[in-house]
Structure 1
Amino acid sequence: MSLLQWAAVGAAGYAIYRAVQKQKTETSPAAFADGEMTDKNFAQVRSAGVEGMRSDPKRWDKIDQASDESFPASDPPSTY
């Protein structure tokens, strides 16, 4: 193989590698809904409630909502 052919094979391999890496980085972490994770979210905290989750829970009531809204805090919600 000539040097030009090797360069073409290398460039194609690199293009495939970059496409796969870009595809991996576009998905958000498991706890986040699609499109919620941004570079500005440096604390890695998702929005409270079902709309901030990637998958919808089978049951979700006002107690679950209150608990989810108070998550990083040490105090329980006042609705108990």
Structure 2
Amino acid sequence: MGLLAGAGGLLYNWLSRRQAAKKPAPVFSSGVTRDAGPDTQSGIDKGQWDKIDEQADESFPASDPPSNY
């Protein structure tokens, strides 16, 4: 009986470790991020990019606004 309980404990431990390795991505997250700046965006000319656009892009997704207003 003790051998059966020990084997069950080992099996449970092995299965729980396998599930922990397969953690899902956060909800509503694709897991893909891009670098900040106009070079990494399509359809944007560097001439159209100003200081405010750059600061807003670099601060995303933080909720704090740029500090030089």
Per the normalisation by structure 2, the TM-score is 0.47
Larger proportion of helix? 2
Per the normalisation by structure 1, the TM-score is 0.42
Higher Cα Rg: structure 1 or 2?
2
